[in-house]
A and B are shown apart, each in its own frame.
Chain A
Amino acid sequence: MIKSLTYSFKEGIKQLFRSKVMTLVSLISISAMLLILGLFFFLSVNVNYMSDKIQDEFNTIEVFLKEDVSETEARNLADDLMKLQEIRKIDYISKDQAMEEFREEWGDNGYLLDGLTENPLPNALRITLEDLSGGDIVAELCKTTEGVEDVRYYQTEVNKILSISSAIQKGALVIIVFLIIVSVVVVSNTVKLTVMAREEEIKIMKYVGATNWFVRGPLLTEGVLIGGISALIAFGLSYLIYDRLCDSLSSQTVMLLNMQLVEPGFLMSSLIWIFMSLGISIGAFGSLVSMRRFLKV
Chain B
Amino acid sequence: MKRDWEQLHRSLEDMRMRLEPGYGMPEAEKDKVLRSRARLLGRTPGAESVGERIPVMEFSLARERYAAEIQYVREVHPMRSFCRLPCTPPFIVGIINIRGQILSVVDIKRLFGLPEKGITNLDKVLVTQSGTNIFGILVDAVAGMREVAIRDLHPPLSTLSGLQKEYIRGITRERLIVLHMENMLSDKRLVIHEEV
A and B are interacting partners: no
